[in-house]
Chains A and B, each alone.
Chain A
Amino acid sequence: MSLLQVEEIDVFYKDAQVLRQVSLRVEEGEIVSLVGGNGVGKSTLLRTISGLLHPKAGRILFSGSAIEGMPPHRIVEMGLVQVPEARRLFPFMTVQENLELGSYNHQARAKTKETMERVFEILPILRERKKQVVRSLSGGEQQMLAVGRGLMAGPRLLMLDEPSLGLAPMVVQELFALMARIKEEGVTILLVEQDVRRALKSADRGYAMDRGQIIMEGKGQELLEDPRIKVAYLGI
């Protein structure tokens, strides 16, 4: 049984169809990457999995339980956590407060202190900046915080929506190293990315999307070498 199984979902946004018969699966312990151009529906897919949108047809199974139609906070409680696009940190709160809120859900709340220690271990820069307000952090630090906040929820599966957006290459490198570390800790990862090469290189498996549909599927390395990827992005 896959940890996450999306089966042929159709998603509409205000009467218009944005996802068409989308299926994918993520096995426990994997890193799966989802790539595709702008506006093809990658973020919509993540938002649907997280419960912010509900599919009109199809099913989403997490650890065997159907989660389509569940309210977002219940899904987080089950261990399916998203680090949203553009981070969406709480701008007027401190690093520590953001982390605390990451473990708001009941399961994680009991272990807040413990989990925060672990996060500080993995991301020592956050411990340094504990009392600082988010707005004073650099882009890279904010992204680290966003990932840390996601970890605070004690996830089994962590979904990251375009974490490298707007970051310098050195920082992106650190970010991907972080993801490898998270994988070691036993967290499964579903990654949506614009940086195709890095996304597919670090992935066990990958999917490519175009216009609301999955068009390619395969092992990370194989997809990367497939010339169709370039065509999908650049049209020639």
Chain B
Amino acid sequence: MNWKRIFYPDLYIALSLSGVASLAALLVQNEFFTNLIIWIFFYASLGLSWNLIGGFAGQLSLGHAAFYGLGAYTSTLLFQHFQISPWIGILAGGIVACLFALIIGFPCFRLRGPFFTLATIASAEVLRILAIYFKDITGGSVGIQINVPPSFAHLVFTSRVPYLFIAWGMLLVALFVSLLIEKSRLGSSLIALREDPDAAEALGINTARAKTAALLISAFFTSMAGVFYSQFIHFIEPYSEFSLENSIQFAMIPMVGGMGTSIGPVVGSFILTPLQELIRAWLGGRFLGLHWVVYGLALILVVIYMPHGIVGLFRNKKICLPERLHRLLAPSPPVKVSKDKNLIFLLPHQASLGQEEILLECRGVTKDFGGLVALSQVDLKIRRGEIFGLIGPNGAGKTTLFHLVSGFCPPSSGSITFRGEEISGLSPPHQVCRRGIARTFQVVKPFGNMTVLENVMVGAFCRDKNPRLAEEEALKIIAFTGLEDKATFPAHRLTIADRKRLEFARALATKPDLLLLDEVIAGLNAVEAEQVEEMIRSIRAQGITVFLIEHVMQSVMSLSDRIAILHHGEKIMEGKPAEVAADPRVIKAYLGDEYVLASS
């Protein structure tokens, strides 16, 4: 574990901000002010927890109040009935919250967008209603008053100062965990699946498992904050614990500060919490509800005009203060990019396999979409070490075949075997990737908000769990594909040629046996096309088999050992490039039958 990687500007900023705030609270010794600082730390840690699933993974939950309330009630009830210390209650509450997360979260992850959000709202609402209903246990809407003599074991104190330190501790723990995740393989998986779930699966990421992991951690820390609340305010009731307003608040903090970064929720809390308290103090008494109006308007304006939050405003500048600070405090050795083009990309087992082996075989593969037959009885054999081309007019079914081979949809009939193993119908796609088939997409799917390096690392993480190793591998591939000058560019800034290169590099990073390339050359100019052709030949020389779909005829003809042509879902011919180009059936498929007659 490279600890230097953790010392990012985010940590320094958060430490200094919170340190200064704590110091100020201790010196000023004003109860209102100390309370304010406590709330800032409190909401920051809640924001950080929410951010794990909402920001990194992009799953917008508006039901986090469920975990919050579960923490508060579990710990309070355990103490009331069994005199168990709230410190243990934190653990217990966390476990209960995690269980709930598993019950609700895992099935709900099959939903996307607003449907997921609606499901989370419904879950929290169910808990709120149950909390009111089972009033013998929970005290119903009347709530539970926590009247205990102050002591450390009871997690109740007369002075505000211990609470300050506990809240600070919560913040630091949440921040530390967030940073750890952000820089780890899990973080990479989460951001990838947020940006493009299909591309993430195709690179070997088990998206369901990653989302669940993030939700569990998020639930645990959220419930921890719930316990703190109950011990701080000494009173809990269903509305203040499980309400939708809470959930909205937990989400707003990272939204305003900057979702998807670790520093965002901290900044968001430092700005929003004092604002909220001030407005509430100023208006709340006389003008009930006005502070929420301000909140609501702020939310609308921030979303429309600052979609990346406050942190996003800074990150767009070329060289900003945090970067300079980072270089000053944690100088890392310059990134060494190897220019050695003869790199071995393969996994150890691949080098020892025979040449004549049939790597991929399709037998009678048929796919129909409710009446529309996309593929019909397609037979193909691809040998290890070949470059196999697939051509055909628009709508012939080429990309559909790729979807079947890579696990994005199952064939209606027929079989697909890879290295002798039946893979047709294997799902989700990450399972196919793990077995050694990687693919690119016809319409490229870069992870726009990640840098080129981070993009390629997603692929590398498929084989290397360690971030440092993954980074090394990624850098090698970046050099090989000629993207080294742009390694730190965010992917959305790349030209189409570079995006295709990136897609190629990313797939290559998963160290596949078989690489499916879907139109990587179309749209490039002659020079760029030449470069890509070189790369393809080079990786074949190292033993990777290539199956490519292409419209740029010059490239397909010059690259492929053999070519098959699809037309209306059927394979009409297969053979060497020269044979295929001269065949009248092929000419007819592309140019129309009168052309054939006229030119023969």
Contacts and interface: CB of A to CB of B under 8 A. Distances in A.
Given A195-B591, A234-B587, A236-B557, A165 B394 contact: yes
A197 B525 contact: no
A84 B494 CA distance: 30
Interface centre among A211, A233, A234 (most CB of B within 10 A): A234
A198 B581 contact: no
A194 B590 CA distance: 7
A39 interface: yes
A198 B393 CA distance: 17
Contact of B592 (A37, A39, A194): A194
B357 interface: no
A211 B555 CA distance: 13
B581 A234 contact: yes
Contact of A196 (B495, B496, B595): B595
A230 to B, nearest CB: 7
Nearest to A20: B525
B492 interface: yes
A201 B594 CA distance: 10
A65 interface: no
Contact of A211 (B499, B525, B556, B598): B525
B183 interface: no
A196 B590 CA distance: 9
A45 to B, nearest CB: 14
Given A38-B393, A235-B552, A198 B587 contact: no
A82 B34 CA distance: 67
Interface in A15-29: 15-18
Contact of B598 (A18, A162, A194, A197): A197
B551 interface: yes
Contact of A233 (B492, B525, B591): B591
Interface in B531-587: 551-557, 578, 581, 586-587
B523 A39 contact: yes
Nearest to A193: B592
Contacts of A38: 393-394, 522, 551
Contacts of A196: 591-592, 595
Contact of A236 (B492, B496, B553): B553
Interface in B79-131: none
A37 B553 contact: yes
B464 interface: no
Give chain B's interface secondary structure class: helix
Interface centre among B493, B523, B586 (most CB of A within 10 A): B523
A37 B551 CA distance: 7
Given A194-B393, A197-B598, A17 B590 contact: no
B494 A15 contact: yes
A42 B591 CA distance: 16
Contacts of A201: 594
A16 B593 contact: no
Given A15-B495, A16-B495, A194-B394, A39 B591 contact: no
Given A37-B553, A211-B523, A233 B493 contact: no
B360 to A, nearest CB: 24
Given A230-B599, A235-B581, A39 B551 contact: yes
Contacts of A224: 598
B519 interface: yes
A147 to B, nearest CB: 19
A16 to B, nearest CB: 3
A17 B494 CA distance: 11
A127 B581 CA distance: 45
A51 to B, nearest CB: 22
B24 to A, nearest CB: 45
A210 B554 CA distance: 12
A234 B592 contact: no
Interface string A208-236: 00011000000000001000001001111
Nearest to A169: B593
Nearest to A224: B598
B296 interface: no
B291 to A, nearest CB: 40
B395 interface: yes
A233 B590 contact: yes
A65 B137 CA distance: 76
Interface string A194-206: 1111100100000
Contacts of B492: 15
Contacts of B525: 211
Nearest to A12: B496
Nearest to B556: A235
B581 to A, nearest CB: 5
Contacts of A166: 395
Contact of A15 (B493, B522, B523, B557): B493
A18 B523 CA distance: 7
A37 to B, nearest CB: 6
Given A15-B493, A17-B496, A39-B519, A235 B592 contact: no
Contact of B523 (A16, A165, A198): A16
23 contacts: A15-B494, A16-B523, A17-B495, A17-B496, A37-B590, A38-B394, A39-B522, A39-B523, A166-B395, A194-B590, A195-B591, A196-B592, A198-B592, A198-B594, A201-B594, A211-B525, A230-B599, A233-B591, A234-B553, A234-B581, A235-B552, A236-B553, A236-B578
Given A37-B551, A39-B523, 13 more contacts: A15-B496, A16-B496, A38-B394, A38-B551, A196-B592, A197-B598, A211-B522, A211-B552, A230-B587, A233-B590, A233-B591, A234-B581, A235-B552
